[in-house]
Amino acid sequence: MAEVRYTAGRHFLQIPGPSSVPDPVLQAIGQATIDHRGPQFAKLGLKILDQIKQVFKTESPVIIYPSSGTGAWEASLVNTLSPGDKVLMFETGHFATLWKNMAEKLGLEVDFVPGDWRHGVDPKVAEQKLAADKNHEIRALCVVHNETSTGCASRIGEIREAIDRVGHPALFMVDTISSLGSIDYRHDEWKVDVTVSCSQKGLMLPPGLGFNAISDKALEAHETAGFARSYWDWDSILENNKKGFWHYTPATNLLYGLSVALDMLLEESLDNVFARHDRFGEATRRAVEAWGLEVLCQEPEEYSSVLTAVLMPEGHSADELRKVILEKYDMSLGTGLGKVKDKVFRIGHLGGLNDLTLAGTLAGVEMGLANAGVPYKQGGVLSAIEYLQK
């Protein structure tokens, strides 16, 4: 049996998801499982289905699946589209690419706009693409709100305005897997048709729940969608949700945790949650600048408040730095994915995080840079602290 070595203190999980799960949520998940067909569960289900709408900022239904975010991606596509339909997607990073790959595997025709992984979706390019589609062959426009691999957040409200300017009827689908509950998002105001999300990021839960927030327009598309579907089908779920139930066995204990997490978010207020994340993003970028390193995202309007991806100096390995930091300081940072593998490390600053946790995270990075022999300037932590004290 492998030796288990005790490490004093608490592990710093500073990847951009799964985020650290707060103790009240963990305690809720640990409660005894109840009958998912009984009256006690119905009360829980109705409470959650009402509160989750507030986080998406919608009056429309929100579907909750026992699934990963990947499952929620698939649900968004198969419930609204048909094989052979054309969709417009943008290469903003690793996860946008994975969603595109899924669409192609399902049999959709994807117009995938290339990108440099250092910017979000350009609303002007979206407008040009839709304006050129005179016959309205594009059935859906799919965008990742916060690209977890790069730290670039696309401007969803501006993309909505671009769609409206050209009067294109395409469905608007948005992945908020790493942004929901951390960055301002407005499903109804931005007229999003399907918002995709999951549990292990801003909602401060373990992995295991996927979400589709759906508009009336999406429900209309669902009536004629041609994909075969069973587990992902919205109809039976919506019908059972009216009374607080699901037609299959739901993830009861994760729903306990979700109930508490929603209470926590709404008690703090979403505006305060967003402001807190904005502060942490700015403090982290100030630390990176003071170190003499470079943030991967090149457009200040698109800086993510959820994570910061940091470019390594030429000739230095991000994975080696992450290894040093994990072994010496018991802190996990996000790895580079896809085209930026071993070129960046990602600092997650999302979920149930406070000023002291962020300061400790940045201290671990600064000490790790020194231990790994990465050229940098001292003072990143001090720069962040000076900003946080304001």
Question: Does residue 355 have a pLDDT over 70?
Answer: yes
pLDDT at 5: 72
Kindly state whether residues 257 and 294 are assigned to the same domain: no
Percent of the chain with pLDDT strictly greater than 70: 99
Span 72-82, mean pLDDT?
98
Kindly state whether residues 247 and 294 are assigned to the same domain: no
Domain-located, residue 382: yes
Kindly state whether residues 36 and 124 are assigned to the same domain: yes
Cα–Cα distance for residue pair 48/251, rounded to 1 Å: 13
Q: Which of 266, 289, 318 is the last residue of a domain?
A: 266
How many domains are contained in the chain? 2
Cα–Cα distance for residue pair 185/317, rounded to 1 Å: 35
Domain-located, residue 1: no
Give, in degrees to the nearest 5, the angle at Cα 58 between 189 and 300: 50
137 lies in which domain range? Answer: 23-266
Kindly state whether residues 147 and 80 are assigned to the same domain: yes
Question: Does residue 109 have a pLDDT over 90?
Answer: yes
Kindly state whether residues 148 and 32 are assigned to the same domain: yes
pLDDT at 2: 55
Contact in structure between 176 and 185 (CB atoms under 8 Å): yes
Beta strands across the sheet bearing 307-311? 294-295, 307-311, 344-348
In angstroms, the Cα distances linking 333 to 22, 258, 371 are 19, 25, 15
pLDDT band per the 50, 70, 90 thresholds, residue 390: confident
Q: Which of 238, 266, 294 is the last residue of a domain?
A: 266
| Percent of residues in the chain assigned helix, strand, coil, to nearest 5 | 45, 15, 40
Question: Does residue 211 have a pLDDT over 80?
Answer: yes
Domain-located, residue 5: no
Span 324-346, mean pLDDT?
98
